[in-house]
Structures are given as C-alpha cells and as structure tokens.
Structure 1
C-alpha cells in the first residue's frame, strides 16, 4: 500500500512557532531514551535549541488565548443536542486545567534555564565546537554516569517541560481538528485559493506521485506548487496534474 504524507504549512507567525516547538519536543522525546555519547550530545543540543526558542518567542500568552478559544468552542458544542457531553467534558476540564497551571507557572521552562548544570552547557553549545570536553569537563563526567542516573536526571528535566508540551499538543490538536480533508487537483502541479483567515494548511498526498508540495502564502491567500527532485537544479516544478487532499484549519 502506498504511503501517504501529510505536509503542514503555517499561515502566521504564531503557528510557525508552535510547529517549530512541537518539532523540537518530538526530537527531544526520541532522544531522551537513547544511549551512546553522540545521541546524548544530540539530546542536549535539542534541549538547548528548545530553550532558545522559548526564550526568543514567549508562546505562553498565545497558548492562553488559544485555550480560551478552545474552552469557548467546547462550551458552545456542549449546548448542541447531538454532541455527547461525556466526550466534551474531559476536554473542557483539560482546557481549564492547562489555563490554571499556565497562569501559575510563571515563565516557561525557567527552572531549566536557571539549572546550575545546564546553564553553563547551554552557553558552550551555542558556540561552534563549544562542547569539547576541555571546555565542559562536567559534561564528560555526566556522560560516564550509570544509565539509570542519567535517565532519572533526564526525566526530571523533561518534567519541567511537561506542561508546555502537553498544552501545546492540546492546542495544536484542536486547531488541526478544525479542518477536514477535501479532495482537490493541482492543475499542472499548481493550486491557489483565498486563505479566509485560516492559520494552518494540511496537505495529504501519495508518496507514489514522486513530488512534494511547497507553499507560499499568508492569512489572506496561499498558493501550492508541487515540485520534484532534480539532479541538475535540486528541484523543479511538476507540469502534470496532481491529486491531493487539503485541510484548511
């Protein structure tokens, strides 16, 4: 069976940041249970990239606003007779709990940014070749600790990020569920449409079409161009019609 690929493209800065943070969380999760020096160094590099992202862009106000929208939408749905209340109530309770905990927690990931072990490493990792052991002997020592001790410390660090990760996953899932996939055709590999204040495009296409989508756009209008890999130019535009599915969220 031919695999399907879902490509997502943000139409505003907020969603672009959300997706980048989500991507780093996914990488962090994959690296958190690995063994071996190279993979563990990748874990620290990803962790510090995430902290840098949370430093540059404070997503907490946006998360709170989106949680309020989720709450409002869930309350509205609960009044509809065809909607099962027992399915909505857990979602509504989660939205309310995340709002309460976000308000209480202060600045996101602050305990990790102030961690006496992590903070000096983060500064060195920001430099090319900065994680050489003569610069950070404490890291070399940590890498030689028993695996059980390393895993416990990693679990403690990730616990400091759990609220951010869970809230972001909840909000993004809610946003993704706003759009349903519709069958469309890109004539000569090209499709464009008005954005109508959408925030996220989700493009589902078959790997068998041997192409991939590129998107340009904003909150007013977007264009999708399917491309294919080219040895000479790196990539080139497709000239054939391509069937795909699109969800506007």
Structure 2
C-alpha cells in the first residue's frame, strides 16, 4: 500500500509527514491530490518538457477517474458530510456560524459536480488529438516527433498558447478537484493525534485500524529511517526501516519517536 510524504515545519525541527490510506476511496483521493498538485506545478512553467509532463499527468487523472461511478461516489460522500455538519451546526457547543463556510463550499461543489455531463473529463476523452497522444505516451518513447508531428508542433508554440490550452483542459476537471480537496480537508481535520515510541524500530497497536480511514505519521527529518505501515481492523504495525537507495531494506534498530494521527470521516 502506498505511503505519501510531505515536508512541514513543526516548532523548531523539520518533520516529514507520511500519509497512509486505509481504504480504496481515500487512496484514490490522495492519488488525485498528488496528480493535481503536479499538474498545477508543471502547467505554470514555460518549457515544453514541463508542459509535456503536465499533459501526461492529466492523462493519469483521466485514468484514475475513469470509473463510471466516480462522480456518484463523490456526490454521496459530499452529501453524507453535509448531513453530519448540519447536525453538528445545531449543537450548542458549535460556535455560531463556525461551519457555514464549509457547508457553503460543499453545496457549491456538489452543484458543480452535478453539472458535469457524462464521465469526468469527457471533453478531453472526446478530443481525438489528445487521445492519440495519450495512446502514444503509454508506449516507452512513443511520443517522439516522428510518431506525433502535430504534438511536436504544439510543443513549439508560444508558452502562453500552450498554457491556455492546458488551462482549458484542466477546467473540465475542476469540479472533481474541488470535491476531493473538501473531503480530504474534512478528513484531516478530524484527526486525533498521539505521540509514540517504536522500540528498536518496531511498533504495534491492537485495533488501531478498526475505525480510521487515514493515518498520518510525522517523523523528524534527522531520523534516517522511513515507516512501513500495515494496518487492518485488528492491528496496526509500523516497521521503521533504514532509508537507503543503495542497500537492501533492513530494520532501523534504534528507538524512534513519532507522532501519529488517526483520521476518520
């Protein structure tokens, strides 16, 4: 199962955050977040190779969102979260108006998603030129100039022209981006955090994965190890292994202090 990492600043020390999804739905949301972040970065650049990377990443998003039920699943989850927040808003412990902004964001996102006709990214899927490129980039070296001369021409256009095209294609995917970012924000904000120590690189907790949908682990950057997480409804196991690009995987045989957050929808 994949582990995503992010850098952040915590007090005076630099930590790395590793996120581990515990079901397929959250795994898909994290993959989409990663892909959309890459598209935003590469499309903002000037060079042809950057815009090629942005387009290839857009094709990956089309593959991830290719299921016919993707849109309905997102709408169902948004509706479920809206109902939960409506109940919470009526609680006397909730500050007046404290959830109004989030509820409004959910309402707008749901409306935008409902206006999407067909599959997510349907305009891109109907573009014969784009689909011809998508088919070729799936082949190692398949996007060479002799295979795709028209694509070669596009990569030599003015950067602003290419960026305008990319923005147009990205726009067809914005409703899904708004939706999954809202859901991930709600999920992360639900987290309960505790500090633990892994004795000689090993940590186990019984029943920790029974209710959680996402685990977020923070580790000091100075620790030359990375977590390998295995979780199910009966137990959570974390092995800290030596971080090395040249050696075989082996256990980090020192105590490791870390912060663990369990997040649940």
Shorter chain as normaliser: what TM range?
Answer: over 0.9
Q: Unpaired runs of 5+ in structure 1?
A: none
Is the CA contact (8 Å cut-off) linking 1:214 and 1:226 kept in structure 2?
yes
Residues 219, 68 of structure 1: alpha-carbon distance in 2 compared, 3 angstrom cutoff: farther
Moved more, 60-69 or 170-179: 60-69
Q: CA shift at 1:30, angstroms?
A: 0.8
What's 2:37 paired with? 26
Is the CA contact (8 Å cut-off) linking 1:181 and 1:247 kept in structure 2?
yes
What's 1:170 paired with? 182
What's 2:222 paired with? 208
What's 2:198 paired with? 186
Moved more, 29-38 or 224-233: 224-233
Q: CA shift at 1:33, angstroms?
A: 1.1
Q: Tell me how far apart the structure 2 counterparts of residues 168 and 154 of structure 1 sit (CA, whole Å).
A: 21
Match of 1:132 among 139, 144, 147: 144
Count of residue pairs brought into register by the alignment = 249
Name the SS for the 1:85 alignment partner: coil
Q: Unpaired runs of 5+ in structure 2?
A: 1-11
Q: CA shift at 1:248, angstroms?
A: 0.6
Name the SS for the 1:173 alignment partner: helix
Q: Tell me how far apart the structure 2 counterparts of residues 119 and 12 of structure 1 sit (CA, whole Å).
A: 31
Q: Could you list the per-position Cα deviations for residues 18-37 of structure 1 after superposition, in whole angstroms to 9, with x for gaps in the alignment?
A: 11111111111110111222
Is the CA contact (8 Å cut-off) linking 2:51 and 2:162 kept in structure 1?
no
Cα RMSD after superposing both structures: 1.8
* TM-score, with structure 2 as normaliser: 0.88
Q: CA shift at 1:97, angstroms?
A: 2.1
Is the CA contact (8 Å cut-off) linking 1:12 and 1:218 kept in structure 2?
no
* TM-score, with structure 1 as normaliser: 0.93
Is the CA contact (8 Å cut-off) linking 2:55 and 2:166 kept in structure 1?
no
Q: CA shift at 1:211, angstroms?
A: 1.2
1:237 maps onto 2:213 in alignment: no
Q: Could you list the per-position Cα deviations for residues 40-90 of structure 1 after superposition, in whole angstroms to 9, with x for gaps in the alignment?
A: 221121111111121158432331222122112211221122322323111
Q: Could you list the per-position Cα deviations for residues 83-138 of structure 1 after superposition, in whole angstroms to 9, with x for gaps in the alignment?
A: 22323111111112222222231321111111233121111111121101111111
Name the SS for the 1:117 alignment partner: helix
Match of 2:164 among 124, 137, 152: 152
Q: Tell me how far apart the structure 2 counterparts of residues 110 and 201 of structure 1 sit (CA, whole Å).
A: 33
1:40 maps onto 2:54 in alignment: no
Q: Tell me how far apart the structure 2 counterparts of residues 231 and 132 of structure 1 sit (CA, whole Å).
A: 31
